[in-house]
Each structure stands twice: as structure tokens, then as C-alpha cells.
Amino acid sequence: MTQTHQSPQKIIEVSAAYCCKLCNSPEPLHPCSHVIPQWMYKMLPIDARCMKIASSYAKEYEQKSQTGIYGKYVCKKCEDRLAAWDDYAATVLQRKPVVTAQGLDFGQYDYNRLARFFLSVLWRAHSCEHKFFDKVDLDSHTLSLTKCLLNDNAENLKNFDVIPTWSSNILTFAVMTPIKVLVESIPYWQLYLPLFQVLIKVVPRPGAACLQPIMMIESKNLCMIEKTFTEFNEIHIAERVFKENMKKKWEH
């Protein structure tokens, strides 16, 4: 009988692929880790809950999903850590906000937990390896964000700015691919969630001055201004993807 032997380097590479991407543990990966928690889709009108996943990839066709996008990339312990933030965010974001001159006021909240929820969604989009999030590459900032999510010390949040918004635009019923944008020459990631959107700064430098009045701040109520989807040309991006998917349907 002929035996085959893998090189040590190959074994290390294969093993790394099955380690938790958050804590690097070799524990079994959770079979269904959602990027966006399912409760967020339940906030949509009933006729919009069967989410459409529209891809700009040439050979991928529009899909429908009632559960959103998920993958295998964290262990059970880390999945529970993420789920705790998901559950807390549900208690805050499902409140009925008060309309004020500053926007929608969701009241008092725990900054550490809600900020980590939004940051974790960005990290999940980067880590899940689904083609929908293929362009979400945190590059050299992956390690600092990972460390922040593993350590509950509030000091670890100081390099991250989080600016959530809401919208009445029809595009808020869809989930678009996160995009990297520049605000006053400073890079941010723009996340799109059902009904909510979030700008996140991951670079260790001061954020854009124009965003300081609307960013999440500890000890202040959670207030959100309305997003129009014109800020970063998103309406035209969505129209382009829609047209590409319609063309693929006809060609198919």
C-alpha cells in the first residue's frame, strides 16, 4: 500500500482554514454564522422579507433568501459572543424612536455593546468569504478590529468611529454590498443593513469633522439622521446592478 505524506507547511495551511477567524481556535466551526442577524430582516414589511441577493458577478444570478447570508467562520464560543451583541442591538434598534430636530432619538443605550455590534457586522462581512462580500477587505486593519471584538475593554474602541443612520428610501429594504468611501479624505466603510446604514472608521486617525456631531458617543442618546442614498452615489450603483441582473435573466 502506497502512503502519501503532506508537507508540514501544507498541513498548517489546511488546519488554518478550519480555525475560528476570530479567536484562532481549532474548535469546530459553527455551521451557520449569519453576517446580519435574522431579526433585522423581520423588521422589514412582510412583502420585502424574502431578500433578493443581486450580484454584479457575470455568472451569478439573482437569488432569494429568507435567512440572509451566512457561513462557517467562527467557533461556537465566538458565535455566542456575536449573538450577545446581536441580541442587545435588537433591544435598542427595535424601539419606537422619538422624532427630534437632530433626527430619530432611540434613547439611552450601552455604547460598548452597540458599537461592537456594528463593528462585528463589518468584521463578519470581511470574514465570511461569501462572494457578496468579496470586496470587503479590511487589510491591515483586520487585526486591530479582531482584537477589539475579543477584548471588552472600552479602550479598544477608541480608534473606531461608528455613525449609524436610517432611511425611508426603498433601497433600505435591500442589503447592498458594503463600499469603501472617503469623507474629508478619510476612509470609511459604508454598511447597508435592513432599515439602517452605518459608516465605520477603522483607521487610527481622527475622523472627518463633518461627521463628529452625528457619530455614536458614550453617555449620549442614540440619535440618527436620515440617509438619502445619494451621498456616495448608491442609487446609481443599485440601478447598475439591477440592470446587470435583468440582462443576465434575459440571457439565461
Average of pLDDT values for 86-103? 96
Instruction: Name the percent of the chain lying above pLDDT 70.
Output: 80
Whether pLDDT at 251 is above 80: no
Q: Give yes or no for a contact between 68 and 51, defined as CB atoms under 8 angstroms apart.
A: yes
pLDDT of residue 62: 47
In angstroms and rounded to an integer, the radius of gyration of the C-alpha atoms of the chain is 19
pLDDT of residue 59: 46
| Strand 161-166 to 33-34 pairing | unpaired
Whether pLDDT at 16 is above 50: yes
Instruction: Name the percent of the chain lying above pLDDT 90.
Output: 65
Average of pLDDT values for 87-101? 97
Whether pLDDT at 123 is above 80: yes
**Residues 6+ away with beta carbon under 8 Å from 63:** 52, 53, 55
Average of pLDDT values for 191-200? 95
Q: What is the pLDDT of residues 39-74, one digit of tens each?
A: 998 888 765 555 555 544 444 444 555 567 889 999
Q: What is the pLDDT of residues 204-215, one digit of tens each?
A: 999 999 999 999
DSSP string of 47-72, one letter each residue? GG-SEEE---STT---EEESS--EES
The CA–CA distances, whole Å, from 218 to 5, 111, 117, 149 equal: 55, 5, 15, 17
Q: Which residues pair with 53 in a beta bridge?
A: 63
Cell 479624505 belongs to residue = 185
CA pair distance 187, 184, nearest whole angstrom: 8
pLDDT of residue 241: 67
CA angle in degrees (0–180, nearest 5) for 204-208-212: 105
Residue type at 146? T
- The pTM for the full model equals 0.85
pLDDT of residue 239: 79
pLDDT of residue 106: 98
Residue type at 136? V
CA pair distance 197, 194, nearest whole angstrom: 8
